[in-house]
Chains A and B, each alone.
Chain A
Amino acid sequence: MLVHSWSSGRLQLLMAPTFHVLVIGAGFMLLAGSATALMVDQPRRSTPWRAVVLVICTSLLIVLAPPRGSFSMLARYRPPARLDGLAAGFALPPEQRDLVDWVRLLRGTPQPRLFHGEPLRVEGFVLVTATGERHLAQLLVRCCLADATPVRLPVQWPADAPPPEQDQWVRVEGEMELLDTPDGMQPVIIAREVTVIAKPRQPFRT
C-alpha cells in the first residue's frame, strides 16, 4: 500500500515531498518485515482477526480508491494560509507571478493600489465560498492534506461564458483590480480569458 501510493504518484496528492521518503522507506521496511515473518517456521500467534480484516480491507481500499477529494470543500471553512517563509516572486514581471506571489505581494505592501491594472496570468482551482462566490485558489500544505490552508483571490469571471465548476483547474488571464469596499481595499482578478487545465501532479504549494 505504501509503496503503491508512491509508485502511482498519489503521495504527491496527499503530502509534502519532505515526507515521501519516510513513506517509501516505511513501505520497503514493511515488505522486508513481512517477508521475514512469512519465512518463520513457527505457528502464528493469535492476531485478532478483526484487526487483520480491518488492515487488509483498508489497504485494499487505499490501493483501489485513489484520493479524489474536493479541495474546495476542504478549504472552504479554513482560515487563509500564512505565507511567511515562502519564496515570492517580487522581482518577477506581473505575468510571471503565480497566485501565491500575488497574494503575498498584496498582503505585504502598504500600497496595494500600485498593482492596480497590472496584467496577470495565474493558475489554480475554483473554490466556491460559503456565500457562493467562485474564487481562484491554491492550497498551501506543510505536512499533509490535514493541514492544508487556502491562498485565494476573488475573480470577476467573463460575463460571456458560464463560470467554471467547483474544483476545476483553470488558467486565468486578465488584470488585477482593487475595489474600495466597506471592509477596505479588496483585490479582484478581472478575468479576460479562462482556460481549463489539467490538475497538476502536485496540486498544492509547500
Chain B
Amino acid sequence: MVLDHLSTSWSVFQALFLEAMPFLLIGVALATMARHWLPSGPVLQCLPDHPLLGPLTGAAMGFALPACECGNVPVARQLLASGSPLPTAMGFLFAAPVLNPIVLASTWAAFPDQPWLLWARPAAGLAMALVLSTLLRLQQEVNILVPNLLRERGFHQPAGTGSLLERSAGLIGSSSPVPLPLLPTRRDQSWRLSVLHGVDELVKLSSLLILGCGVAAFLQTTLPRDWLLAVGQAPTLSVLALMLLAVVISVCSSVDAFLALGFASQVTPGALLAFLVLGPVIDVKALGLYGTVFCRSAMVFVALSCSVLVLLAGQWTNALML
C-alpha cells in the first residue's frame, strides 16, 4: 500500500516535472536573451511606472509569451533585475499566465458553450494583476524583493558577471554575504557567457521546481479530489474548495481549462472561475519559483491577496449567476 502510494506519487512527480521543464526552459532562454541583448536595460527602464499603465503594459507583454507560470517567473525576474518599473514587472508576472493566446484558446476550446468564461477569466486575471501591482507598489521594494534581486536591480547591469539567481536566492543556496557583482566588460557580454549564466539559472530554478512538483505530487495522491468536489453546490465552500484544488493540482495554465471541464457541471460558476484564475498564478509548484523574486513575507502577502481577490470574484460571480 505504501509502496503503491510512493510509486504513484513518483509517477505524478515525473509527469509534472517533465511537463513543466520546457516552459521553464523557455522562460530562462528569454531571460537570458534579454540579459544579453539588453545589457543595461535602457528599454526596460523606460517602461511605464504608472499604477494603471504599468500593469497593463506588463500584461500586454505577457500576451506575447505563451508560457505558464514556470516560464513567467524567470522573465519577470529579469525584468526587475534590469531595472524595469515594479508595476510593469508585476503586471507581467500576474497577468501573463492567464492573458496569453494559448490559455484563451484552450478556455474557448474547453467551454464553447459558456462564453461568459471567455471574457470573465482574462478580465478577472487582469483585475487581479492590477490590484496586486497597486498593493505591491505601495510598499518599499526592500520589503518585498529578495536581496540579490535588489542588488542586481540597483546596478542595472546585465550580461555581466553574476547569474540571475546568484547566491542565497530563494529557498536553496548559501545565505552568506556575497561580493557585489563586478562592472560588466565587453568580454563578459559574450553570448557564451550568457549561456553559462542561463544554465546556472536553470539549475537553480529547476531545483525549486523539483521541490514544488514533489509537494504537489504528494498532495495529489494523498488528498481525495472527490472530497473537495463534494461541496460543489455550496456558493462559498465550492469556491474555497476549488481554490484549494487549483493550488494543489499545479497543472499548467495552458491546459487547466480541460481539467476544469471534468468537474464543471458539479461546481458553481464562481468556483469554476476561481479555479481558472487562481491556479495559473498561485500553486504549490510555482511557490518555490516565486522565492527567487519575493521575500517570504511578500510571498505570504501575495498568496493571501490573490486568494482574497479570487474568493471575492468567485462570490460575485455566484451572486450574479446563481
Q: Is A103 an interface residue (CB 8 A)?
A: no
Q: Kindly list chain B residues whose C-beta atoms are within 8 Å of the C-beta of A67.
A: 7, 10-11, 14-15
Bound complex: CA of A54 vs CA of B171, how far in Å? 13
The range of chain A's interface size is: 35 or more
Closest Cβ of chain A: how far from B65's Cβ, in Å?
15
Closest Cβ of chain B: how far from A97's Cβ, in Å?
22
Q: Kindly list chain A residues whose C-beta atoms are within 8 Å of the C-beta of B251.
A: 143-144, 146-147
Contact check: which of B14, B224, B258 meets A77 at CB < 8 Å? B224
Look across to chain B and name the residue whose beta carbon is closest to the beta carbon of A18.
B255
Q: Is B29 an interface residue (CB 8 A)?
A: yes
Contact A51 B172 (CB under 8 A): yes
* Interface flags, A1-31, vs B, CB<8A=1, else 0: 0100100001101110001001101100110
Look across to chain A and name the residue whose beta carbon is closest to the beta carbon of B111.
A84
Bound complex: CA of A5 vs CA of B23, how far in Å? 17
Q: Is A74 an interface residue (CB 8 A)?
A: yes
Q: Kindly list chain B residues whose C-beta atoms are within 8 Å of the C-beta of A79.
A: 225-226, 229, 262-263, 266
Contact check: which of B8, B29, B166, B199 meets A73 at CB < 8 Å? B8
Contact A69 B203 (CB under 8 A): no
Contact A65 B22 (CB under 8 A): no
Bound complex: CA of A51 vs CA of B203, how far in Å? 7
Q: Is A109 an interface residue (CB 8 A)?
A: no
Once A50-B172, A55-B203, A55-B207 are accepted as A-B contacts, the answer to whether A74 and B221 lie under 8 Å apart by CB is yes
Closest Cβ of chain A: how far from B270's Cβ, in Å?
18
Contact B162 A45 (CB under 8 A): yes
Q: Which of A46-83 contact B (CB under 8 A)?
A: 46-48, 50-52, 54-55, 58, 62, 65, 67-70, 73-74, 76-82
Closest Cβ of chain B: how far from A24's Cβ, in Å?
9
Contact check: which of A13, A23, A58, A78 meets B19 at CB < 8 Å? A23
Look across to chain A and name the residue whose beta carbon is closest to the beta carbon of B220.
A146
Bound complex: CA of A14 vs CA of B12, how far in Å? 8
Closest Cβ of chain B: how far from A181's Cβ, in Å?
20
Q: Which of B229-270 contact A (CB under 8 A)?
A: 229, 249-252, 255-256, 258-259, 261-266
Q: Is A105 an interface residue (CB 8 A)?
A: no
Bound complex: CA of A149 vs CA of B262, how far in Å? 8
Q: Is A179 an interface residue (CB 8 A)?
A: no
Task: Provide 6 A-B residue pairs closer than 8 Å at the C-beta atoms, listed in order of the A residue.
Answer: A11-B18, A33-B198, A34-B199, A45-B161, A54-B207, A84-B261
Interface residues of B (CB under 8 A from A): 4-5, 7-12, 14-19, 21-23, 25, 29, 109, 161-163, 166-167, 172-174, 178, 192-193, 195-200, 202-204, 206-207, 210-211, 216-217, 220-221, 224-227, 229, 249-252, 255-256, 258-259, 261-266
Q: Which 8 A-B pairs have CB atoms at the shortest separation, nearest pair first?
A: A69-B11, A77-B224, A48-B173, A67-B11, A69-B8, A142-B258, A26-B22, A51-B207
